[in-house]
Homo-oligomer: A and B are copies of this chain.
Amino acid sequence: MPRLIVLYKPPEDTDAFDAHYRDVHTPIVSRYPNLRDLRLSKLAGVGGRESEYYLMAEMAFDSAAELDEALSSEAGAASAKDLRNFAVAGATMFIAPDEADA
Contacts and interface: CB of A to CB of B under 8 A. Distances in A.
A16 interface: no
Interface of A: 4-5, 18, 21-22, 39-47, 51-53, 55-57, 71, 80, 92-97, 99-102
* Number of copies of this protein chain within its complex: 2
Given A71-B47, A102-B40, A56 B96 contact: yes
A99 B46 contact: no
Nearest to A64: B44
Among A21, A51, A80, find the residue whose CB has the most chain B CB atoms closer than 10 A. A51
A43 B102 contact: no
A10 to B, nearest CB: 11
Contact of A41 (B43, B55, B96): B96
